Amino acid sequence: MAEKARSVDRACIELMEETKNFTIGSCWDRAEKQQPQCGFGLGGICCRICSMGPCQINPFGDEPKRGVCGADADTIAARNFIRMIAGGAAAHSDHGRGVAEVFQLAAKGEAPGYGIKDEQKLLQLAMDFGVEIGDRSVQDIAIDVGEVAMGIFGSQHGPIPFLKRAPLKRQALWRELGVEPRGVDREIVEIMHRTHIGVDMDPENLMLQGTRAALGDGWGGSMLATELQDILFHTPTPTLSRANLGVLEAEQVNIVIHGHEPLLSEMIVAVSQEPEMLKKAKAAGAKGINLAGICCTANEILMRHGVPLAGNFLQQESAIATGAVEAMVVDIQCLFASLPKVAECYHTKVITTAAKAKIPGATHIQFEEHDALNTARKIVNAAIENFPNRGKVRIPDVECDLIAGFSHETINYLLGGVFRASYKPLNDNIINGRIRGVAGVVGCNNTKCTHDNDHLTVVKELIANDVIVLQTGCSAIACAKEGLMLPEAAAKHAGPGLAEVCETVGIPPVLHMGSCVDNSRILMAAAAVVKEGGLGDDISDLPAAGSAPEWMSEKAISIGHYFVASGVYTVFGATFPTLGAPGFTDLLFNKYEKIVGGKWDFEPDPLAHARKMIDHIDKKRRALGLDKAKERVLMDMAARRELEKEFEEQPAG
């Protein structure tokens, strides 16, 4: 079999020879050493839940058909699958809880460096939570909002308040199915209970609980993380930046921030601009201090400060291989255990900062919320002190401009203008067929795929077919590096209808909406489009689809399932963790559509993957009676003036 290329990213390819020198190999070398991988594990039909096992089911119909306790392939796969949801929902929600804790301290004035930056959003949240506004001070309102937010994690009876943001029909369906989350944590705990040996064995019933926990993530923990981060650090607006390893600076102290929470990285951004720090950097022989990000911490500080992206998940080792990184500062999630070992071959200091996430061999500098600025100063100092230890530097000359910062509020504003922020122009253009539909393309990198290739193929095919693409996570970083997040990408890559709309509004055809907890922004946008009218009365009526072409983490499964449970057809690439259990897979891929209006699908070929999404979008257009409108005449001047009139109040640019 011909060897699959490791990456299509030019910076990664350039560093490939260098990464082969790592004493523990690169992630690609280690992936090769794992081959062939266990078929039972891949198919989701290996059960390690009790010590009578591991039990494995023969997927080809011969014995063994059942585990020692009698569980068959479908029960085993269902238990494994919802445990993945629990892992993912726990990760997002615990991130949200961490933000809520700092939010509470900030509201009380007990966390120097933090404050309320978006009062408008605070008031909105206060209304959602039923917190009295009146003539109370911002501080008093924030204290109460923080209290309610913390309560949502531990609440026992629910339903959690953000469900009310969904279309009414969706809310009624969740109520009817009994899947409204009672509290974020409770649903995760109940998954662990139900999947313990000898409890819930019915795949459909297990999935109802999986659904409840996933909704507690999307409309609970993740949405809380996004909302509270926006209030603490401001809601993103369009911002110009750059992406790929070429953003590292040969003559500056480079600090790469990697992980997921913006709590500490926001402080590092502030501190690295202090004159005192710059003076120290110069004294160490550097011309300045340069910050760049990896994974979702990168997306957070990109969206709010324009800090450039060094790369996505599979570039964390390559970043160190440039020899130009003085410190890689990590917080939580998606960190390779290999980092300190890789760093041993260079001068890079790997600095862990979260009590929850330590890596053997790394330096630990504990992030103290009460004293965050000083924690950040310690870290920046450590990086500066490391500058003189540099060896050979090989920064690939590869980078690309991008525009990020498309929060749900910003899209609303850009489309509708300052006086009538609205999604109406988007809905109108979907109805008239200039835009065929909307896709959310999100998620990770996976060594099972050629790095970035599947994201780029899927997204290019979608926009070429007039589907506007909303992005988060490492998928967004892949497209940013490719230049798809620039307005000029519309003329180059988008179909004629989408290109016209992008040109008129001045937006790229691919919109960066943030980190993975910010998939909640996509839920908000979907709900807003339904509320705007003309495209049905539920998210499941929209000509829309979701995708994670190179997913790898449990968080992706939780995200995928809250999209499905919110009514979205969602396709995953790379691999799918239930394929050894045909009955359970049929539930996810087929029957689920009748239950929640959305369903799962799997397609590892990226072109076929995009085609499936487009076919689904067309199916929804037909159901809405919009298929005729798609036959458009080429735009003449009168039609163009008409389109411009629709956008007359939107700001220039």
Contact set with ligand NFS (CB under 6 A): 260, 295-296, 313, 334, 443-444, 473-474, 515-516, 553, 555-556
Smallest separation, CB 193 to ligand NFS (Å):
26
Q: Among candidates 222, 304, 317, which has minimal Cα distance to 268? A: 304
Smallest separation, CB 556 to ligand NFS (Å):
6
Residue nearer to ligand NFS on the CB measure, 86 or 296: 296
* Residue where the block lists tokens 């090769």: 32
Residue nearer to ligand NFS on the CB measure, 289 or 478: 478
**Angle formed at CA 630 by CA 625 and CA 634, multiple of 5 degrees:** 150
Residue nearer to ligand NFS on the CB measure, 40 or 313: 313
Residue nearer to ligand NFS on the CB measure, 180 or 554: 554
DSSP secondary structure of 366-396: ---GGGHHHHHHHHHHHHHHHGGG-------
Smallest separation, CB 519 to ligand NFS (Å):
9
Smallest separation, CB 480 to ligand NFS (Å):
13
Residue nearer to ligand NFS on the CB measure, 73 or 444: 444
- The upper half-sphere exposure of residue 294, i.e. CA atoms within 13 Å in the direction of its Cβ, equals 31
Q: How far apart are CA 527 and CA 540, in angstroms?
A: 10
Residue nearer to ligand NFS on the CB measure, 516 or 529: 516
What the block records as the tokens of 178 is: 């009994």
Smallest separation, CB 354 to ligand NFS (Å):
15
Residue nearer to ligand NFS on the CB measure, 206 or 247: 247
Q: How far apart are CA 252 and CA 273, in angstroms?
A: 13
Smallest separation, CB 265 to ligand NFS (Å):
13
The strand ranges marked E within 207-307 are 239-243, 253-259, 289-294
Q: How far apart are CA 515 and CA 538, in angstroms?
A: 25
Q: Which residues pair with 569 in a beta bridge?
A: 545
Residue nearer to ligand NFS on the CB measure, 313 or 367: 313
Residue nearer to ligand NFS on the CB measure, 356 or 622: 356
Residue nearer to ligand NFS on the CB measure, 316 or 427: 316
SS3 327: strand
Q: How far apart are CA 183 and CA 212, in angstroms?
A: 10
Residue nearer to ligand NFS on the CB measure, 73 or 334: 334
Using a 10 angstrom Cβ sphere, with 0-12 exposed, 13-18 middle and 19 or more buried, the burial of residue 173 is: buried
Residue nearer to ligand NFS on the CB measure, 334 or 545: 334
Smallest separation, CB 335 to ligand NFS (Å):
9
Q: How far apart are CA 509 and CA 493, in angstroms?
A: 8
What the block records as the tokens of 239 is: 């911002």
Using a 10 angstrom Cβ sphere, with 0-12 exposed, 13-18 middle and 19 or more buried, the burial of residue 65 is: exposed
Smallest separation, CB 458 to ligand NFS (Å):
14
488 Cβ neighbours under 8 A, 6+ residues apart: none
* Residue where the block lists tokens 């790379």: 574
222 Cβ neighbours under 8 A, 6+ residues apart: 92, 93, 96, 516, 517, 518, 519, 520, 559
CB–CB of 195/83 below 8 Å? yes
Residue nearer to ligand NFS on the CB measure, 553 or 650: 553
Mark residue 603 as left, alpha or beta (left: phi above 0; alpha: psi -120 to 50; beta: remaining): beta
For residue 468, the surrounding DSSP H or E stretch is strand 467-471
204 Cβ neighbours under 8 A, 6+ residues apart: 587
CB 264: neighbour CB atoms within 10 A? 25
Residue nearer to ligand NFS on the CB measure, 158 or 473: 473
Smallest separation, CB 254 to ligand NFS (Å):
20
CB–CB of 384/362 below 8 Å? no
Smallest separation, CB 599 to ligand NFS (Å):
22
Helix 138-154 crosses helix 73-107 at what angle (to 10 degrees)? 160
Smallest separation, CB 315 to ligand NFS (Å):
11
Smallest separation, CB 520 to ligand NFS (Å):
12
Residue nearer to ligand NFS on the CB measure, 412 or 450: 450
229 Cβ neighbours under 8 A, 6+ residues apart: 99, 262, 300, 517
Smallest separation, CB 475 to ligand NFS (Å):
7
DSSP secondary structure of 36-59: SPPHHHHHT-EE-SSTT--EE--T
Smallest separation, CB 564 to ligand NFS (Å):
17
Smallest separation, CB 20 to ligand NFS (Å):
23
